[in-house]
Amino acid sequence: MTPADLRELAMSASHLRTRERFLALYEITQESCATRIAERTHRHPQTVMEWLHLYNTGGPEALTYQRTGGRPPFARRSKPALARRSVPPNAPPQPRL
């Protein structure tokens, strides 16, 4: 894969984290080092090196961001707010524990 390919992958990536990873690798190919890239992007140098090792062992697919768990983003909730309610709208509020 050429540096131009890395740049194209970065520009066409759908997620910001994937874009950041490909741009970091692109900059490494432009005679920069992982430490300088890490300082400029406010990342730990070992994180940038990890991206490089992931790419070398797994190719571009290894750098694609994949959500690993946790609560879904707020904007992705599929049910309307009223459908999620289990108490009538006029019921007194319950104290939170």
Q: How far is CA 27 from the centre of its chain?
A: 18
pLDDT in tens, 15-51: 999 999 999 999 999 988 899 999 999 999 999 999 9
79 lies in a domain? no
- Please tell me the pTM assigned to this model: 0.66
Q: How many helices (H) and strands (E) does the chain have?
A: 5, 0
40 lies in a domain? yes
What are the DSSP E strand ranges found in 1-94? none
Structural domain containing residue 31: 3-63
Whether residue 81 has pLDDT greater than 70? no
Q: Alpha-carbon distance 87 to 76, whole Å?
A: 23
Tell me the chain's radius of gyration from C-alpha atoms: 21
Higher-confidence residue of 13 and 67: namely: 13
51 lies in a domain? yes
Q: How many domains, in total, are found in the chain?
A: 1
25 lies in a domain? yes
The angle at the Cα of 13, spanning 76 to 62, to the nearest 5 degrees, equals: 95
Task: Indicate the length of the chain as a whole number.
Answer: 97
Query: What is the reported pLDDT for 68?
Result: 80
